[in-house]
C-alpha cells in the first residue's frame, strides 16, 4: 500500500515533500544526511562484495587433503608388525 502511494504522487506533491524536508531539517543538515546515507550504502556494498567473493573463492578451492599429524607419521612403521606372542602349542 505504501509503495502504491509513492507512485501516485505527482510533480507538485514531490515539490511539497522536498520543501517540507527542507523546513524540518534545514539546508545545513541535508548534505550531512545525504553524506551519511552515501557512506552507509558504500559500506553495505563493500560488505556484500566481500561476502560474495568469499563464497566464490570457497567454491572454487579444492578441498584440502587431511593433514597427517606429526605423531602419526613418525610413530608408525611402514609395515604392521604383530607384537603378540604366538599361541601356546597343545
Q: What is the pTM of this model?
A: 0.45
Residues 68 and 78: their CA atoms lie apart, in Å, by 15
The answer to whether the Cα torsion of 48, 54, 57, 59 is positive or negative is negative
- Establish if 71 belongs to a structural domain: no
Q: How many domains does the chain have?
A: 1
Range of the domain at 51: 26-60
- What is the per-residue burial (b if ≥16 Cβ within 10 Å, else e) of 26-65? eeeeeeeeeeeeeeeeeeeeeeeeeeeeeeeeeeeeeeee
Give domain status of residue 38, yes or no: yes
Per the CB < 8 A criterion, the answer to whether 17 and 9 are in contact is yes
Quick check: 25 and 33 in contact, CB under 8 A? Answer: yes
Tens of pLDDT, residues 35-54: 999 999 999 999 999 999 99
List, for residues 52-61, the tens digit of each pLDDT value.
999 988 888 7
Amino acid at each position: 500500500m505504501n509503495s502504491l502511494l509513492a507512485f501516485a504522487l505527482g510533480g507538485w506533491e514531490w515539490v511539497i515533500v522536498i520543501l517540507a524536508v527542507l523546513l524540518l531539517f534545514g539546508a545545513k543538515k541535508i548534505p550531512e544526511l545525504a553524506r551519511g546515507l552515501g557512506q552507509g550504502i558504500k559500506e553495505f556494498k563493500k560488505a556484500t562484495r566481500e561476502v560474495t567473493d568469499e563464497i566464490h573463492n570457497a567454491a572454487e578451492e579444492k578441498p584440502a587433503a587431511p593433514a597427517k599429524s606429526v605423531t602419526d607419521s613418525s610413530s608408525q612403521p611402514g609395515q604392521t608388525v604383530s607384537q603378540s606372542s604366538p599361541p601356546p602349542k597343545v
